[in-house]
């Protein structure tokens, strides 16, 4: 939850609004506040007061978008907006049209048809990881915050709780990872400060590892937790894990011994470790420095069980990386979800390309691939889910493969106050656009839109009427797109 903003009435100096868990209103200059939350959801982040009619207001919170026509005395919800904040998603292996996901403050919804208007909620709380048994689609596992794990055997209509971290005296992350073994459907791994394992579908659990973290770190917030687990699809004894305090581990003997292999990796939050589908000694790891204000992309690959790592961030701009997924049909092809959308590579990470021009700029926290259907799904934090049919996109069509025909260089100065210069290089004649987006993915300015011949160019961008903050530069041609980040300070 992110709130704590204040909004002044556009015409009445004594009226002010304040958003936190509830939405508050004062009509006496802030001396007294009354809640006007009414029928709205809690956790209020945004408020827009219309002009010239300030009775009309639009509020954004964890429950969606609400409208009032009487200064907040009553509210009406706006339905069917693709703004859901997904933490994690999954695809039913037997029915790829069925999509499931865990969401911020809005439980675990799913669709059984793949349509946009028939989603229902199957598990409460804040939703996180969810898994469907790949041998029996009626068996579903889901969790709510801090790792309370449930199981359904009737397609999600009734549930039994099968794991509580506090019953085991464990620390657990707000977004606690659990995964089903790709080799045995009855085996699941659950990450608290230790990894727990069940081999009978959750009836019994045992510690599968020691504490893999550096401890709680003290304080009132929960740190020192496992954030990602990846069993190898090639050998059951191999399991990888990562933690919120930068540790990466691997066991090659079924949990009897564990090796910490992150000594030469960044000291950052480990967002994902993913075992390779082609080679037992190969794995990929991603990090996010968002917590430490380090936005460099951190993607590493090992081919020797973590004894050495290679940075495969390539040409990516400075953005946290949240997930990485190797394509089991295309060795060298990797998909990633970042705070700035989805990217893929066909050369093992030397060159990264935008997944789709039609996808908005938004955080992608989880990606899943149904290999049989060649269906790739992205779970975004704020723009719901996006689905790609890889068989009809250019990335599976060699003759239509996107060509990187330009380079976008870092703007200067950055951060900037009134204006900045954006340099770039064009390798082929064609039509190019240079656009500026805000952090919500909204287009705020088209700086350039014209035909260019090969050469080096620069454009001057003046930040008229923009608020201070982070913005994204997008240079696009008919078959490629690249992005970078800039900061404007008034």
Q: Tell me: the pLDDT tens digits for 275-307?
A: 999 999 999 999 998 777 777 778 999 999 999
pLDDT tens-digit series, residues 85-140: 999 999 999 999 999 999 999 999 999 999 988 999 999 999 999 999 999 999 99
Q: Quick check: 398 pLDDT over 60? A: no
Strand arrangement, sheet containing 375-380: 364-370, 375-380, 385-389
Q: What is the mean pLDDT of residues 138-146?
A: 97
What is the structure's pLDDT at 400? 42
Please state, rounded to an integer, the average pLDDT across all residues of the chain. Answer: 91
Instruction: Please state, in angstroms and rounded to a whole number, the distance separating the CA atoms of residues 58 and 75.
Output: 9
Residue 172: predicted pLDDT: 94
Q: Where are the domains of the chain?
A: 6-78, 86-400, 406-488
- pLDDT(332) > 70: yes
Quick one: pLDDT at residue 394?
54
**CATH level 2 (architecture), domain 406-488:** Sandwich (2.60)
pLDDT value, residue 393: 60
Provide the pLDDT for residue 404: 55
pLDDT digits (tens, 9 = 90+) for 440-475: 678 899 999 999 998 889 899 988 888 888 888 989
Q: Which helix (H) or strand (E) holds 18?
A: strand 16-19
How many Å apart are CA 129 and CA 190, to the nearest integer? 11
Helix (H, G, I), strand (E, B) or coil at 391: helix
- CA torsion through residues 199, 227, 218, 20, sign: negative
pLDDT above 90: percentage of residues in the chain? 70
Query: Side-chain half-sphere of 383: how many Cα atoms within 13 Å?
Result: 22
CATH of 86-400, one of 1.10.1060.10, 2.130.10.10, 1.10.10.1100, 2.60.120.10: 2.130.10.10
Mean pLDDT, range 162-172, rounded to an integer:
91
Where residue 417 falls among pLDDT bands split at 50, 70, 90? confident
- Cβ-defined contacts of 43-52 (< 8 Å, 24+): 43/1, 43/3, 43/105, 44/3, 44/19, 44/20, 45/2, 45/3, 45/5, 45/19, 46/5, 46/19, 47/5, 47/7, 47/17, 47/19, 47/23, 49/7, 49/9, 49/10, 49/17, 51/10
Contact 446, 433 (CB under 8 A): yes
| 108 close to 98: Cβ distance less than 8 angstroms | no
Neighbours of 349 (CB within 10 A): 22
| Residue 478 clears pLDDT 70, i.e. is over it | yes
pLDDT at 397: 54
420-436 tens-digit pLDDT: 999 998 888 889 999 99
Specify the pTM. Answer: 0.81
């Amino acid at each position: 939850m992110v709130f704590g903003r204040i909004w002044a009435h556009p015409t009445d100096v004594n009226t002010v609004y304040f958003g936190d868990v509830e939405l508050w209103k004062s009509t006496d200059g802030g001396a007294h506040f009354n809640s006007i939350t009414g029928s709205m959801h809690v956790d209020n982040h945004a408020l827009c007061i219309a002009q010239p009619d300030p009775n009309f207001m639009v509020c954004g919170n964890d429950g969606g978008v609400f409208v009032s026509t009487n200064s907040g005395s009553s509210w009406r919800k706006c339905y069917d907006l693709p703004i859901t904040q997904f933490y994690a998603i999954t695809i039913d292996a037997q029915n790829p049209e069925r999509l499931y996901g865990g969401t911020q403050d809005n439980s675990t919804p799913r669709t059984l048809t793949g349509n946009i208007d028939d989603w229902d909620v199957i598990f409460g709380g804040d939703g996180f990881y969810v898994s469907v048994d790949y041998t029996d689609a009626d068996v579903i596992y889901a969790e709510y915050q801090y790792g309370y794990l449930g199981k359904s055997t009737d397609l999600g209509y009734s549930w039994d709780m099968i794991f509580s971290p506090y019953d085991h005296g464990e620390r657990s992350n707000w977004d606690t990872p659990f995964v089903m073994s790709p080799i045995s459907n009855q085996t699941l791994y659950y990450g608290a400060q230790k990894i727990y394992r069940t081999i009978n579908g959750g009836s019994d659990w045992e510690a599968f590892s020691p504490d893999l973290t550096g401890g709680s770190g003290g304080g009132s917030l929960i740190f020192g937790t496992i954030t990602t687990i990846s069993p190898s699809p090639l050998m059951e004894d191999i399991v990888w894990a990562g933690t919120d305090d930068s540790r990466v581990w691997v066991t090659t003997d079924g949990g009897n011994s564990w090796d910490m292999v992150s000594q030469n990796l960044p000291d950052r939050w480990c967002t994902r470790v993913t075992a390779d589908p082609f080679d037992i000694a190969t794995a990929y790891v991603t990090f996010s420095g968002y917590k430490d204000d380090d936005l460099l992309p951190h993607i590493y690959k090992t081919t020797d069980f973590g004894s050495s790592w290679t940075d495969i961030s390539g040409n990516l701009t400075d953005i946290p990386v949240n997930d990485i997924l190797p394509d089991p049909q295309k060795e060298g092809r990797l998909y990633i979800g970042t705070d700035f959308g989805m990217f893929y590579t066909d050369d093992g990470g030397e060159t990264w390309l935008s997944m789709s021009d039609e996808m908005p700029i938004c955080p992608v926290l989880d990606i899943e691939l149904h290999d049989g259907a060649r269906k790739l799904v992205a779970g975004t934090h704020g723009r719901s889910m996006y689905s790609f049919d890889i068989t009809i996109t250019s990335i599976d069509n060699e003759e239509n493969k996107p060509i990187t025909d330009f380079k976008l260089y870092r703007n200067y100065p950055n951060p900037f106050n009134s204006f900045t210069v954006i340099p770039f290089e064009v390798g082929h004649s064609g039509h190019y656009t240079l656009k500026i987006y805000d952090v919500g993915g909204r287009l705020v300015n088209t700086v350039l839109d014209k035909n260019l011949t090969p050469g080096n160019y620069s454009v001057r961008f003046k930040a008229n009427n923009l608020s201070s903050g982070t913005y994204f530069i997008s240079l696009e041609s008919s078959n490629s797109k690249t992005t970078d980040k800039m900061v404007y300070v008034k």
